[in-house]
Structure 1
Amino acid sequence: MTANASKPIRVWITPPGPNSWKTIFLREELGLNYEIKAFRFDDVKKKPFIDINPNGRVPAIEDPNTDLTLWESGAISQYLIEEYDLDKRLAYTSLKEKNLCNQWLHFQMSGQGPYYGVCSWFQHLHPEKIPSAIERYADQIKRVLSVLESVLVAKPADAQWLVGDKMTYANMAFVPWNFRLSEVLVQSWDEVWEGTPHVRAWHERMIELPSWKRSMEHRARCMDEQGLQWNGAPKGIETFTDYEVKIAAGEDTTAKE
């Protein structure tokens, strides 16, 4: 049984980045009552959001059912599982499996997310191309994928999940960044998975879930409402770096057709 929040949980996001969709994906899979508060990246360091998260990063949540405001995507994932996944459909209660799920969530936050994000920055957003930096972080992405492959390849064919024999929140946490691999590495979908067929199969099982497809429908709607390009910059602004310069200068960044 999943405990559905009687009052909707407010989820603060800026649409482009992957971390917000880690939170939305989990909510959709749990069938929780929630509302999306999507706002512009321009305002991530301003009130009212800075009162929600003084670090000025998304996602963050406000849960009126427990009177809790929480930020950091990993902390939010653990909270949702503990508070709302009563039957532990996406988690375990046994000591070993519970802590292994926590281990993989931390690996996603400390390994996958930062390396993928920095690679994406140097690949697409840094004002000058630095081949050595791009190569270093692309290699780190491949290393993260190889770690996942080494675990999944050792699993029985009918139970290829990171922990135990079912999908957990720990598996789900990796989906949003892996979904962006073609963009991050500037490679075809087949190329990014070379040497990691078990990771590809694992990932592709999850992106076929209705909960993920609904999450991406929400993303597409939010991006369209804000007039954003794939890289998060408004239409009419060439790069995300230009976008940040305009924000710092206080210029109008409303999407230009």
Structure 2
Amino acid sequence: MSHGKQFTFYTHKMGPNGWKVAFVLEELGLSYESVYLDINGGEHKRPPFTDINPNGRIPALVDHHNGDFAIWESGAIILYLVDKYDTEKRISVADEKERYHLIQWLFFQMSGQGPYFGQAFWFMRYHPEKVPSAVERYQKEILRVFSVLDGVLAKALGGYLVGGKPTVADLSFVPWNNAAMRYALQGLEGVDIPKQYPAFYAWHQKLVEREHVKKLLALQAKFAQEAGL
């Protein structure tokens, strides 16, 4: 089968986990076609998508220049992309120890940031019953993650997580952090992110001003506006 783009990228217009992969594709200058699945219609839970990802979640990626190789789970996709296509180490690292630190932060993003931030949004917006204790728990987890990042970034070379430069370790945190600061912490008394977590806030601002990140966040905001969010 002939494909105009190197990759077919299965994602969702609002899902944070898809956007972090899109950041990497853009940063590496790779050509891809985004297929935005209809989550409300259950398109992600049936073939042909489940033939690619049996877990029925976004994102997933097919590399047409590598025998239609398919891969899912955002962290695995990111590692595949930098291992295979970031030969100049623009957003990854060459040193072995630094590489494991990069993987460490990717794992923390996937296990310590994404699920907790996602639960905050679930209980704030979508859970059929109001559960204030659950909202409080996950908002506190957001602030705990901010605190962990702030403490590390305050001492880190260049103000980045690994190697003294922006890498996929940093970029992977952007979508959920952005969503949390815009929505999940709104109205929470006594929270001032720039003052309480200055290293974290400065790091986040540098990342969202990157050309490709800024471009994709603007596209996401457009989708959100169209959806009335």
Q: How many angstroms apart in 1 are the aligned matches of 2:108 and 2:148?
A: 10
- Secondary structure at 1:106 match in 2: helix
Q: In the alignment, which residue of structure 2 is the partner of 1:236? A: none
Contact 1:38-1:222 at 8 Å conserved across structures? no
Report whether the alignment pairs 1:204 with 2:205.
yes
Deviations 1:127-164 (A, max 9, x none): 111111111111111111111011011135xx100112
What aligned pairs does 1:21-100 form with structure 2 within 5 A after superposition? 21-41=19-39, 42=41, 43-67=43-67, 68-100=69-101
Q: How many angstroms apart in 2 are the aligned matches of 1:18 and 1:27?
A: 15
Structure 2: 5+ residue stretches without partners: none
Task: Give the superposition deviation at 1:194.
Answer: 4.6
Q: In the alignment, which residue of structure 1 is the partner of 2:14? A: 16
What amino acid is the match of 1:16?
Answer: M
Deviations 1:80-138 (A, max 9, x none): 00011001111112111110000000000000000100011111111111111111111
Q: In the alignment, which residue of structure 2 is the partner of 1:120? A: 121
Larger radius of gyration: 1
Q: How many angstroms apart in 2 are the aligned matches of 1:50 and 1:37?
A: 14
- Secondary structure at 1:62 match in 2: strand
**RMSD of aligned alpha carbons:** 1.9
The TM-score with structure 2 as length reference comes to 0.90
Task: Give the superposition deviation at 1:217.
Answer: 3.7
Q: How many angstroms apart in 1 are the aligned matches of 2:185 and 2:123?
A: 10
Contact 2:18-2:59 at 8 Å conserved across structures? yes
Q: In the alignment, which residue of structure 2 is the partner of 1:173? A: 172
Q: How many angstroms apart in 1 are the aligned matches of 2:48 and 2:221?
A: 24
What aligned pairs does 1:172-191 form with structure 2 within 5 A after superposition? 172-181=171-180, 182-187=182-187, 191=192
- Secondary structure at 1:26 match in 2: helix
Deviations 1:70-89 (A, max 9, x none): 00000000000001100111
Q: How many angstroms apart in 1 are the aligned matches of 2:220 and 2:35?
A: 12
Task: Give the superposition deviation at 1:220.
Answer: 4.5
Q: How many angstroms apart in 2 are the aligned matches of 1:187 and 1:81?
A: 38
What aligned pairs does 1:130-149 form with structure 2 within 5 A after superposition? 130-149=131-150
Q: How many angstroms apart in 1 are the aligned matches of 2:55 and 2:193?
A: 33
Q: How many angstroms apart in 2 are the aligned matches of 1:65 and 1:187?
A: 48
- Secondary structure at 1:91 match in 2: coil
The TM-score with structure 1 as length reference comes to 0.81
Query: CA, structure 1 residues 223+124, in 2 after alignment: closer, same or farther (shift >3 Å)?
Result: closer
Percentage of identical aligned residues: 42
Structure 1: 5+ residue stretches without partners: 1-5, 231-257
Q: How many residues align?
A: 221
